[in-house]
Amino acid sequence: MNPKVSVVIPTYNRAEQVQKSVESVLEQSFTDLEVIVVDDGSSDDTGQTLKNTFGDRIRYYFQPNQGVSVARNKGIEEAKGEWIAFLDSDDLWEKEKLDWQFKALERFAPQCTACYTDVRFYNNSETRTMFHLTQESYRHEDAIGTNPDVLRLLVRPGGAGMVVCLSSFLAHRNVLKKAGEFDPTLLYSQDSEFLFRLALQTGFCYVNLPLVRFDRSPAETRHTGVQSEWNNFEFWLRDSQLRLEGLLRLTESQPPKIRNLIRQQLGSIHSGWVNCYLKNGQYGEARAAASKAVQMRITFNVALKWLLTWISPPLALRIARRRENDRASAFTV
C-alpha cells in the first residue's frame, strides 16, 4: 500500500544537517509517510551516513550535481504518496506539522489542495516568524485559513513572498503534475516560480503556527555547489529577469493587477541592470536597459535615470550609488 505523504528532501554535502531534517520527518505525529532523499552529487559520504543512521526507513537516490530543481524533480518522480511535501536539508519540521496541514486541507477542500505553515528562523537573531515579518503588507489573521491573494505574494521571492516557504509546503500530487516540474534553468527563484504556477491551478490554505524551523545561517555557508552563484548580484538579476519574463507569459489571462505587478518588478530588474552597466562603463547597454525599464513601468525616477544615461552617464552612476548607500544605511539602522 502506498503512503499518503511523500516527503522530498534534496541535499548536497550536508551529511550532518540532513540527518536532523530526516529525523524531524520520521518523528511526525502523522506516520503514513515516506522519506525520499535525493543527493545532488555530495562528496561528504552523505549516502553512507544516511544508510548507517536510517537504513531502509528512507529511500535514497544519488545524482551528479545538477542543482536543487533537478533533485526535487527526481523526488517527485519517485514519490508514491497521494500528497507530496518538500523539506530542504537544513530545515526542520515540528512534530505536528502534517497533522495541522491535513486539518486545514480537510476544512477548505475541494478549492484548496495545497497548504503551507508559518516558519520560525534558527541560526539567526530574528525572533519574529515569517508571517509576522509580512504583517505590514499582508496578514494571516486566523488559526487556519485561505490565501486568495497568494499570486501577488509569489511575484517576489524573498520579502513578502517568503511567507509561502517551500519547506512548509504540502500539495496533492495531481495538482503538482498539472503545474509541471521545477525549472532547472532557475537557480535562485525556482521555488517561488514553481509555487506561482501551482497557485494558477489550486487555492492555497495555511496554518498560522510556526511548524517549520528555517535555517538562516550566513548565505556563504548555505549556498554551495551549483547554488554558490546566488551571492552574485548580476546572477540574481539574470535569474530574476528570466523568472519574471516567464511569469508574464503565464498570466495573459490573469487580472491586470497581477500582470502590472510583474511588469513593475521586471522594470526594477532592468533598472538594476542599468546600475551594473554604468559601473562597468557600458553606457550603450545601460541606455538599452533603461529603455526596457521605462517600457515596463514609467515613473519619475525611472524616466530620470533613462534621461541621464543619455545626457550624463557618470552623473547617473553617482545618483545610483548614493541611493544604494541610502538604502544600505536605512537597512542597518
Rounded distance between C-alpha atoms, residue 219 and residue 207, angstroms:
28
- What pLDDT is stored for residue 21 in this prediction? 98
Residue 250 counted as domain residue: no
Which CATH number characterizes residue 22's domain? 3.90.550.10
> Does 194 share its domain with 304?
no
End residue of a domain, out of 222, 239, 268: 222
| Per-residue model confidence (pLDDT) at position 333 | 35
Assess whether 189 and 270 both reside in one domain.
no
- Asked if residue 61 and residue 121 are part of one domain, the reply reads yes
The secondary structure of 139-184 as a DSSP string is ---SSEEE-TTHHHHHTSSSGGGGGS-GGG-EEEHHHHHHH----T
63 shares its domain with 128: yes
The reply to whether 23 and 70 lie within a common domain is yes
Q: Which pLDDT score is estimated for 233? A: 83
- Taking each helix axis from N to C end, the angle separating 256-279 and 313-332, rounded to the nearest 10 degrees, works out to 110
Same domain, 115 and 205: yes
327 and 206 together in one domain: no
Classify residue 174: in a domain, yes or no. yes
Q: Are residues 111 and 167 in the same domain?
A: yes
Chain segment 162-205, per-residue pLDDT in tens = 789 999 999 999 999 999 999 999 988 899 999 999 999 999 99
Same domain for 62 and 189, yes or no, is yes
Shared domain for 59 and 113, answered yes or no, is: yes
Q: Give the end of a domain, one of 222, 240, 263.
A: 222
Query: Do the domain assignments include residue 145?
Result: yes
In a domain, 199, yes or no: yes
Instruction: Determine the pLDDT at residue 244.
Output: 95
Q: Of 179, 205, 222, at which residue does a domain stop?
A: 222
Burial class (CB in 10 A: 0-12, 13-18, 19+), 308: buried
Q: What is the dihedral of CA 162, 121, 130, 242, to 10 degrees?
A: -10
> Looking at residue 29, what is its pLDDT?
98
Report yes or no on 155 lying in a domain.
Answer: yes
Same domain (yes/no): 74, 148: yes
Give pLDDT tens digits along the chain (333 positions): 689 999 999 999 999 999 999 999 999 999 999 999 999 999 999 999 999 999 999 999 999 999 999 999 999 999 999 999 999 999 999 999 999 999 999 999 999 999 999 999 988 888 889 888 876 666 788 999 999 989 988 987 665 557 899 999 999 999 999 999 999 999 888 999 999 999 999 999 999 999 999 987 765 554 455 455 555 789 889 999 999 999 999 998 888 999 999 999 999 999 999 999 999 999 999 999 999 999 998 888 889 999 999 999 999 889 888 877 665 554 343
Q: 185 and 262 share a domain?
A: no
- Whether residue 47 is contained in a domain is answered as yes
Domain count for the chain, please give it: 2
234 inside domain: no
What pLDDT shows up at residue 2?
A: 87
Residue 293: give the domain boundaries.
255-332
Residue 243 domain-assigned?
no
Rounded CA separation 258/241 (Å): 16
